[in-house]
Structure 1
């Protein structure tokens, strides 16, 4: 456990990754997910039936489960300097046995971001994540990309 935490902390400290990269994970109460997607590590923990908190390099966020399939999202991008508070929503559903699909949309006065993806359960507590993310900043160039990553749940 200490090795996982130290590895995650090292990646955050050395500045790997940009943007909101975390997929929409289904976690059990008290479960933690550590994952990698779009050149970024993230960690999130489900505190109770409705609330999940997460952290990655540029984001600190919370997801509140409104129903089993719909979540409200609130977060702060670049929380360590000039931050931008964002809000959004996500929807997830089972697409096939061992495959969950999701769509999320978050935005602030500085950007809008949409993500569509799927989590494929390949082993107990291990998912492969595939997604497409469209990022539209108010200033600068749009960034659209496909991603492939993995999530470990414990």
Structure 2
């Protein structure tokens, strides 16, 4: 049992393990733990296919900056949603982020960078690969710091 999750999220993890196996749960828990220690929440939503990673913009508008998906067995990273934050409001900044993801994760993870509104998926099996996880988590932490900085100003 993953002790830092609330009951609905823990149930989601249990259901994930039942349908997709222990490795899928380990990957989902790895992501959730990283997000929680980075100061973000992981929340169950009405749609049982995912857990969301909510974030409030400086003007109090809620957006989701990630989804842990049980239907795709991946972490979905909605770069397009980041356009609603100050740090990534520029199309150029979001394209730079996608280019960084592609340069750091390819060829192991396919990242399309032809639009600043892409929502790349990082498969759970890649999340469990330490080399890929370290590169992805560093990028994700930078994004979290960038968007969090705008709320502390």
TM-score normalised to the size of structure 1?
0.33
**Structure whose residues are more often helix by fraction:** 2
* Higher relative contact order, chain-length normalized (CA < 8 Å, sep 6+): 2
